């Protein structure tokens, strides 16, 4: 059992940006998962994605006491060093040149401005954090570094591969036992284990992008269910928002009243589906080589047999046994399907390392897998 008991709820091809998951023509036709929610409002969904904690302050404040950690020990430079990002659009002009970046009080002031991406705090007039929680944007937004590294305009949907969730959690006064510390400090930047608090196993995965999902039925590496299934799972069991979530396959049955999660899922989904994958930067690849790569991709390389246009995945039709792609089977066994989805390739240039476990550092490494 985990030491986190109160969390338990029961080349050419490379240049073309191809083949995140090499695969055969095999696979197992997937069975339908839970029905997706009705259509929502993307404008409302943006606010939910960026600023809604689903009431998780009771966990991050009352249980983990992270408000105490931030108040006393997290100055802006420390925050940036663990991968937290600052939204430049939320800052008054010239403020960065006027404040002490080595003072935790500056971090508190930034929280009061809603400028720390993915954190939402209630700050008193005398600069004291009363409550703090997290939002979807903590892991699934980045910034463009237009002011300095870690400070810039929001890039919603981009995975924050600089974020070190385990190290951040390890600062909690409630998580100081040696076994828990060993797990949390082992994950490293850009990785998180969304099953550890249920099964006690330590096998983190890379934080995935939340863009380019239009037309992709299943969001997770193992194809558990539609996108809103995973939004609910994370919102309730990982962020610890006040909501209801049920999955008999995992032995999870959580009922909350009032439910602050479920009614927001349609709008959240609408916003996620509106986020396009970012195009590769100008000059980042050789167009002629990319044309040759496309010929290989769609021809003798047989990449397109699984990475099918326009989504560059066959997840809407089938999942794949780990042996088909030579992948570590551990995650698939911890989840409910025993299989992996073919990862969509849109935006592949932007989010190395690749595969669910980050075992391929570059696209050429993927091709050599």
The answer to whether residues 273 and 213 touch, using CB atoms and an 8 Å cutoff, is: yes
Q: Give 231-265 pLDDT, tens digit per residue.
A: 999 999 999 999 999 999 999 999 999 999 999 99
Q: What is the pLDDT of residue 15?
A: 34
What letter does residue 106 receive in the DSSP assignment? H
How would you classify residue 216: left for phi > 0, otherwise alpha for psi between -120 and 50, otherwise beta? beta
Chain CA centroid to CA 176, Å: 25
As a whole number of angstroms, the distance between CA 42 and CA 121 comes to 24
Using 50, 70 and 90 to split pLDDT, how confident is the model at 38?
low
12 has pLDDT over 50: no
Q: Is the pLDDT of residue 18 over 60?
A: no
Taking each continuous run of H as one helix and of E as one strand, the counts in the chain are: 16, 12
What digits encode the pLDDT tens for the residues 148-191? Answer: 999 999 999 999 999 999 999 999 999 999 999 999 999 999 99
25 band by pLDDT with thresholds 50, 70 and 90: very low
* Least confident range of 29-43, 82-96, 189-203: 29-43
pLDDT grade for 369, boundaries at 50, 70 and 90: confident
pLDDT at 219: 85
What are the DSSP calls for 326-363, one per residue?
A: T---HHHHHSSSSSBPPPP-TTGGGS-SBSTT--B-SH
298-350: pLDDT as tens digits:
999 999 999 999 999 999 999 999 999 899 999 999 999 999 999 999 899 99
| CB-based contact 228:243 (threshold 8 Å) | no
pTM: 0.89
Query: For residue 32, what pLDDT is reported?
Result: 53
pLDDT at 120: 99
**Phi, psi (5° rounding) for residue 155?**
-125, 80
Per-residue burial over 223-240, b if 16 or more Cβ lie within 10 Å, else e, is: bbbbbbbbbbbbbbbbbb
CA 111 from centre of chain: 21
How high is the mean pLDDT of the chain?
91
**Which residues constitute the domain of residue 253?**
5-368
b or e along 260-275 (b: 16 or more beta carbons within 10 Å of the residue's beta carbon)?
A: bbbebbbbbbbbbbbb
Q: What is the pLDDT of residue 20?
A: 34
pLDDT tens per residue, range 89-141: 999 998 888 889 999 999 999 999 999 999 999 999 999 999 999 999 999 99
Question: Given this model, what pLDDT does residue 350 score?
Answer: 93
> Of 4-8, 199-203, 356-360, where does mean pLDDT reach its minimum?
4-8
pLDDT, one tens digit per residue, over 52-68 is 999 999 999 999 999 99
Alpha helices (H) along the chain: 12-15, 42-51, 57, 66-73, 76-81, 104-112, 137-140, 165-170, 178-184, 196-199, 227-233, 265-274, 287-298, 322-325, 330-334, 363-368
Q: What percentage of the chain carries pLDDT values higher than 90? A: 84
Q: Which residue has the higher pLDDT, 158 or 30?
A: 158
Q: Each residue of 262-294: pLDDT tens digit? A: 999 999 999 999 999 999 999 999 999 999 999
Mean pLDDT calculated for residue range 24-50: 73
Question: How many structural domains compose the chain?
Answer: 1
Is the per-residue pLDDT at 24 higher than 60? no
């Amino acid at each position: 059992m985990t030491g986190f008991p109160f969390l338990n709820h029961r080349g050419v091809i490379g240049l073309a940006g191809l083949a995140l998951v090499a695969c055969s023509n095999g696979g197992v036709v997937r069975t339908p998962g839970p029905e997706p929610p009705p259509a929502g409002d993307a404008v409302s969904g943006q606010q939910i994605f960026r600023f809604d904690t689903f009431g998780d302050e009771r966990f991050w404040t009352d249980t983990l006491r992270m408000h105490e950690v931030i108040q006393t020990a997290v100055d802006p430079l420390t925050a940036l060093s663990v991968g937290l990002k600052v939204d430049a659009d939320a800052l008054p002009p010239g403020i960065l040149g006027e404040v002490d970046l080595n003072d935790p009080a500056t971090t508190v002031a930034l929280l009061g401005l809603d400028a720390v991406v993915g954190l939402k705090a209630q700050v008193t007039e005398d600069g004291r954090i009363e409550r703090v929680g997290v939002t979807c944007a903590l892991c699934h937004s980045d910034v463009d570094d237009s002011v300095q590294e870690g400070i810039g305009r929001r890039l919603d949907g981009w995975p924050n591969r600089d974020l070190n969730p385990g190290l951040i959690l390890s600062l909690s006064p409630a998580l100081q036992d040696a076994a828990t510390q060993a797990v949390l400090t082992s994950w490293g930047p850009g990785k998180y284990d969304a099953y550890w608090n249920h099964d006690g196993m330590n096998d983190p995965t890379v934080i995935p992008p939340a863009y380019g999902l239009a037309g992709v039925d299943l969001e997770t590496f193992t194809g558990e269910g539609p996108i809103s299934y995973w939004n609910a799972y994370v919102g309730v069991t990982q962020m610890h928002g006040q909501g209801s979530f049920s999955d008999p396959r995992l032995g999870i049955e959580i009922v909350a009243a009032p439910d602050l999660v479920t009614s927001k899922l349609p709008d959240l989904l609408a916003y996620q589906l509106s986020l396009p994958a970012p195009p590769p930067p100008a000059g980042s690849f050789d167009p002629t080589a990319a044309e040759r790569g496309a010929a290989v991709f769609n021809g003798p390389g047989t990449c397109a047999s699984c990475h099918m246009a326009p989504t560059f995945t066959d997840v809407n039709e089938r999942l794949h046994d780990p042996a088909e792609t030579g992948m570590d089977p551990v995650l698939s066994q911890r989840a409910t399907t025993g299989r992996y989805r073919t990862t969509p390739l849109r935006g592949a240039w932007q989010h190395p390392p690749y595969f669910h476990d980050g075992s391929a550092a570059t696209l050429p490494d993927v091709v050599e897998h």
